[in-house]
Amino acid sequence: MNYSDRWTDRKLILLEKKLKETYEEAISGMHSDLETFLERYEKQKKKFEQQLAEGKITQEKYDEWLQRQAGNKEYLHGMADSLTRDLNNRNKIAASMIRGHMREVFVQNANYAEFSIERFVGFNTSFNMYNVWTVDRLIRKKPNLLPKVQVDDRKDHAWNSPKLRNAITQGILKGEGIPKIAKRLEEIFGMNQKASVRNARTATTAAQNGGRLETYYEADEMGIHVKKMWMANVDTRTRHSHRLLDGQVKELHQDFDLQMSNKKIKYPGDPTAPAEEIWNCRCRVVGILRGDDFDASDLSKRYSRIPKSIGYEDWKKMKSAEVEDEEAS
């Protein structure tokens, strides 16, 4: 695992932590809203429970009261819809965080791939360092460059609203208090958090490998021959189809072969590949270069030499200085 892989893993851990905090804030707000919504219900429930314990009303009467509360659809649906809007807003915040994260990961991996190639060939080529604006320009040219992480209001509402309504209704029918009803709702908020984390992991893989591929394409145009190899993260969670891909080497513009389905995939996380092949994928694409794949004498005519021992941070400083010199001239 190289520097860029470790950097990407750390960034994903930080993003998952921020996503968790975002949904924890939403859950805290949900608890507060629920107490406001159900304040009258909670007071009456305690009153009826006391009367039931004292034998002043029958279990049947108490159950009838609960059913009337659960049957107040206008009130309960209004409460659920309010919570749904809050949850949908959190999903939008999470999507925005993931989109920004993807660009950072793409930039880091594209730049580190450039550094790796230049250090290998020993020449300071015409690579320009990537930044988030470069990625935005690329996306306009290649709309499928990165996954489209966005929230569809209609679908999001249609998924969350019935679940929240049902959780509240079932809680009331069973005579549960606010803490238990809130626990039911927390499970639904948790489902949304898990979906966001899954999106984050999938988007990270796509950006990590997509960034590397863009650099490899640039190198190919310079006459530096790069092949690509699929490297699976092999453990008990690895898809069988990706185990079969592990170590497969392809020419840069060839697709990898998904042997189990006879389908193709450009790289791990490829947004155009079948969803079942990219969700939560942790595989990587690795560039393979050989000394006899390019003409060093031809490169020496076009580019200046750089020390093969140069480190990534020094390389970035060198590239940044070149950009400043160009802008100054």
Q: Within this chain, do residues 196 and 278 fall inside the same structural domain, yes or no?
A: no
Distance between CA atoms of residues 12 and 226, nearest Å = 27
The pLDDT value recorded for residue 290 is 82
231-274 pLDDT per residue, tens: 998 888 888 999 999 999 999 999 999 877 778 999 999 999 98
Note whether residue 303 is domain-resident.
no
CA distance 47 to 67: 16
The answer to the question of residue 320 being in a domain is: no
Same domain, 65 and 116: yes
Instruction: Assess contact for 268 and 259: CB atoms under 8 A.
Output: no
Q: Assess whether 196 and 281 both reside in one domain.
A: no
For residue 217, being part of any structural domain is answered with yes
Assigned domain for 36 exists: yes
Q: What is the CA radius of gyration of the chain?
A: 27
- Residue with structure tokens 């470069």? 134
Positions in the chain short of pLDDT 50 = none
Q: What Å distances lie between residue 11 and 5, 98, 149, 174, CA to CA?
A: 10, 11, 17, 44
Q: Which residues contact 312 (CB under 8 A, 6 or more apart)?
A: 3, 112, 115
Residue 190: the pLDDT is 96
In a domain, 321, yes or no: no
Tokens encoding 316? 């970035």
Same domain, 74 and 7: yes
Looking at the fold, whether 201 and 178 belong to one and the same domain comes out as: yes
Q: Are residues 209 and 252 part of one domain?
A: no
**Whether residues 204 and 231 fall in one domain:** no
Domain that holds residue 237: 227-288
Q: Are residues 182 and 261 in the same domain?
A: no
Residue 23 maps to a domain: yes
Give pLDDT, residue 326.
Answer: 55
Distance of alpha carbon 3 from alpha carbon 78, whole angstroms: 51
* Domains contained in the chain, number: 2
Q: How far apart are CA 252 and CA 215, in angstroms?
A: 11
pTM of the predicted protein model: 0.89
Distance separating alpha carbons of residues 11 and 237, to the nearest angstrom: 21
According to the model, what pLDDT value does residue 309 have? 83
Quote the CA–CA distance of 29 and 22 in Å, as a whole number. 11
Q: Who's near 116: CB < 8 A, 6+ residues apart?
A: 2, 287
Amino acid 324: pLDDT: 60
Count the residues in the chain: 329
184 plus 232 within the same structural domain: no
Do 180 and 35 share a structural domain? yes
Q: What is the DSSP letter of 303?
A: S
Same domain (yes/no): 168, 103: yes
Residue 142 located in a structural domain: yes
> Does some domain include residue 264?
yes
The pLDDT value recorded for residue 327 is 52
Question: Residues 62, 49: contact at Cβ < 8 Å?
Answer: yes
Regarding whether 203 and 61 lie in a shared domain, the answer is: yes
